Amino acid sequence: MTIDEALSKLEAITKHLEEEGLPLEEAVSLFEEGIALAARIKTDLDQAKLKVRRVIEEAQGVFSLEDFDLA
Amino acid sequence: MAEDRVYSVTELNRVAREFLEEGLGPLWVKGEVSNLVSAPSGHLYFTLKDAESEVSAVRFKGRASLLPSVVLKDGLSVVAYGHLTVYEPRGRYQFVVSLLQGAGLGTAQLEFERLKEKLKGEGLFDAGRKRSLPPFPQRIGVVTSPSGAALRDILSVLERRWPLVEVYLFPSAVQGETAPLEIVEAIRSAATFNDKYAPIDVLIVGRGGGSLEDLAAFNDERVARAISACPIPIVSAVGHEIDFTIADFVADVRAPTPSAAAELAVPDSGEVLSLLRTLHRRLAHAIRSAFDRRRRLLETGLRGYIFRIPLRKAATASQGLDLRLDELHRSIVRALEARDRELLRLEDRLPLVDPRLPLRRGYCLTFTPGDPSPLRDPGRVSRGETIETRFLIGKILSRVEEVSRT
C-alpha cells in the first residue's frame, strides 16, 4: 500500500468510526486499525531518505542505474 | 591650441587620435553589424549602424575570444564596448571593440517571438493540453546537468518536503551547442524508461538562470516539441523568475525556478503529518464517544427497567430478583470499566499530547480562579488565596498556607 492509499484508507476509517450506532466491537477494531495505519504512515515519513539514481541508457531501452551522490 | 604653426597631415591625424582617445573614455555602443569582413590577420572589420548613421568598427584578433557565445554576422544587433580612435594612415576614426554581446532585442529575440507565435498557432500552448501533476508521485525524473546548481536546489527541496520520492536523473548539457539535442535525447530516454522500466510520475526539465544565450537550448524548437510529445507530465524549471522560455510555454506546469519546480512536484510531509494528527484526534474522539453512548444507553436502559417494576411490587420483590438486578448492574459496570481501561491503553499508544495524560499517570494540575491555564510558578499565588487542584476524576479547592520556590 502506498502512502496516499494508506492516508485515504485512514480517512475512510475515521469517517466510518464517527458514524453513530456502530457496534462497540466494530468501533474498537476500526480504532485499532486506524491507529496502526497512522503509525505506519508516520514511520514511513520519519524513516524516508531521498534516493537519487543516475540513469544511463546503454542502448535503446537498456538502462543501468547508479546511485547518485551530490557530495 | 590657437597658433600660427602649420601641421603636417600626419601630425594632424596623430593629434586627432590623441584628442579622441583621451577626451572620450571607453563606452558602450548599440548598433547593427554590417559589411562584416574577416581579414586574413584574424581581425574583424565591420560597420555598426542604426537608422541614420554608421561608424567603422574593428575587433582585433587577440580580443576575439572574449565572448565566444556571440557569432558575429551581418544584421546582428549588438551592444559593443570599446573606445574611439583614429586610424592615422587613412585619417578615419573607428570604434575599437573590446567586448561584444547580443543586444537582446536583436535577432535572438526576433527568433524567440517567431517560434512562440508558430507553436502557439499549432496549439502547443493550449490550456487543454496541460496535464495536472499527481498529488503523490512515487518517482520523479529530472533532466538537467548533473553538476549544476539547479539539481542541487531540486534535490534539497525534495529531501526536505517529500524524501519518500525516488529521483531518476537523466543527465544532459543545458547550454552550448549540443544542449538542445542532449535535452531532447534525455526526455526521450525518460519516456522510454517510463514505458519499459518503471513509471515516472513527473519530469522536471530545467537549469538555473542565465543570459538569453545561456537559456538558448530552452528556446529551441526541437526541445519544445520533445516536451510537448513526452507522455510524462513535465514541469519546466528554467532560470529565475523573469526568464520565460519557449519550454515554459509548452510544459504542463511552469515553475519560476528549479526549487519551485521541486515544491510543485511533491506534497509537503509537514502537511501530511498535520493531517495525520487531525485524523488521530478524530479517531480518539470517535472511540470515546462510542463508549459514552454505549454507557448512557445501558444506564437509561437499566433505569427504565427498574422504573417499570411497580413500587409496591418492588418493595416486596424477592431477594433473588434484587440480587439478580444488582448482579446485572455490577457486571455492566465491570464491562464498561474494562472497556475504559482498554481505551486508555489504546490512547496511550497515540503519540498525541493529551492534556489529561499526566492526570492519568497520577499527576495533578493546579489552577487559580479565572485562569484557564495551569499554574506553573508558585510565586504567582500568595498566602490565603484559593487554588484548585485538578485530578483525572475530580478536584480539590484549597487555601494557600505557605509559598516557597525552588
**pLDDT, one tens digit for every residue, chain B (406 residues):** 566 789 999 999 999 999 998 888 888 888 888 888 888 888 889 999 988 899 999 988 765 444 445 677 788 888 888 899 999 999 999 999 887 776 654 556 667 777 888 899 999 999 999 999 999 999 999 999 999 999 999 999 999 999 999 999 999 999 999 999 999 999 999 999 999 999 999 999 999 988 777 888 999 999 999 999 999 999 999 986 666 899 999 999 999 999 999 999 999 999 998 898 889 889 888 888 887 777 777 666 556 555 555 544 544 444 444 444 455 556 656 666 666 666 666 555 554 445 566 667 777 888 888 887 888 888 888 888 899 888 878 889 999 998 887 7
Q: What is the pLDDT of residue B353?
A: 46
Residues of B with CB below 8 A from A22's CB? Answer: 290
Residues of A with CB below 8 A from B280's CB? Answer: 35, 38
Find, in chain B, the residue whose alpha carbon is nearest to that of A24: B290
Identify the structural domains of chain B with CATH numbers, from first to last: 9-103 (2.40.50.140), 108-267 (3.40.50.261), 270-348 (no CATH), 357-399 (no CATH)
What is the residue whose three cell numbers read 526526455? B187
Q: Provide the number of CB pairs (under 8 Å) joining chain A to chain B.
A: 111
Q: How far apart are the first and last CA of chain A?
A: 33
Residues of A with CB below 8 A from B190's CB? Answer: 55
CA distance B382 to B185: 79
In DSSP notation, B159-172 reads HHH-TTSEEEEEE-
- φ, ψ for residue A55 (rounded to 5)? -95, 125
In DSSP notation, B176-204 reads STTHHHHHHHHHHHHHHHHHHT---SEEE
- B286/A27 CB distance under 8 A: yes
